């Protein structure tokens, strides 16, 4: 356990909160592994081609380091920019309509999404059982619930996982793009989720597994930020703003 279970059991019940906001990938569903695999395949394809063209050694995408540092929890195009900057590579921005074979920031992001769609179509989306039980518990308490995700696939994933009906509001990648809402680590998506629920941030709880996500929750002034440690990075989650860290949401259920 990331913290002693007896200190966490019933924490949300006792806190006087009115709303709970959940990230999707890695908190509610296991699709974080799907996104990570798609990022790795897309960037390795690009990096190999780039290295060949520039006479440089091929340095593959490092899933253990590059994904959490530059991509996890961020809007897709922001993640592309952050990773390319880490490799000192500059590409044209392009437009969201760029085909996935165009070498632009948006083109690479669209190639990644193409790979995600393929992986989702060929596999199943599994929610974490402890997360489902916890969501049902907080709804039984009368708390409002929302999903706040950087993914444009959020609605499809919730439906595929069979848990869409458990949430009163959703803020996703389409809202980020169409509404011009800054993505995580900015707090704006979580603030928009709280606004849609009609609950003040200081009476709301944020659940996040990404470093950028806990940063967003802390920056938004939320009453409690819970880091969900799916990637063995409990200390980093605390350093980025998590008040408490759990390995599974069921640790917060009353004893």
Active site residue ranges: 23, 25
CA distances from 12 to 15, 133, 252, 255 (A): 5, 14, 7, 12
CA distance 209 to 68: 10
* Measured CA distances, 90 to 16, 50, 72, 85, 111 (Å): 48, 11, 21, 7, 17
Question: What are the distances in angstroms from CA 74 to CA 35, 43, 61, 149, 214?
Answer: 11, 16, 17, 9, 12
Contacts 24+ apart (CB under 8 A), 64-67: 67/36, 67/39, 67/40
**Using an 8 Å Cβ cutoff, are 249 and 131 in contact?**
yes
According to DSSP, residue 18 is labeled -
Contacts 24+ apart (CB under 8 A), 152-159: 152/76, 152/113, 152/177, 153/31, 153/113, 153/116, 153/117, 153/120, 154/24, 156/120, 157/24, 157/25, 157/29, 157/31, 157/120, 157/125, 158/24, 158/28
Cα–Cα dist 20/135, whole Å? 9
């Amino acid at each position: 356990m990331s913290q002693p279970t007896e200190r966490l059991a019933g924490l949300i019940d006792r806190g006087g909160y009115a709303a709970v906001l959940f990230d999707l990938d890695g908190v509610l569903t296991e699709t974080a592994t799907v996104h990570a695999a798609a990022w790795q395949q897309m960037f390795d394809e690009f990096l190999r081609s780039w290295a060949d063209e520039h006479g440089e050694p091929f340095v593959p995408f490092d899933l253990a380091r590059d994904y959490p540092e530059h991509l996890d929890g961020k809007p897709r195009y922001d993640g592309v920019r952050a990773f390319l900057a880490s490799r000192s590579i500059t590409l044209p921005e392009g437009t969201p309509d760029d085909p996935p074979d165009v070498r632009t920031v948006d083109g690479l992001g669209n190639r990644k999404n193409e790979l995600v769609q393929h992986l989702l179509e060929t596999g199943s989306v599994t929610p974490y059982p402890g997360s489902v039980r916890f969501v049902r518990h907080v709804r039984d308490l009368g708390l409002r619930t929302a999903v706040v995700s950087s993914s444009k696939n959020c609605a499809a994933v919730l439906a595929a996982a069979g848990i869409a009906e458990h949430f009163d509001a959703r803020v996703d990648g389409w809202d980020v793009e169409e509404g011009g809402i800054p993505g995580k680590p900015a707090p704006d998506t979580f603030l928009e989720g709280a606004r849609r629920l009609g609950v003040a941030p200081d009476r709301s709880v944020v659940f996040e597994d990404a470093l950028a996500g806990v940063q967003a929750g802390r920056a938004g002034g939320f009453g409690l930020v819970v880091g969900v440690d799916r990637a063995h990075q409990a200390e980093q989650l605390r350093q980025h703003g998590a008040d408490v860290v759990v390995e599974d949401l069921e640790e917060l259920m009353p004893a």
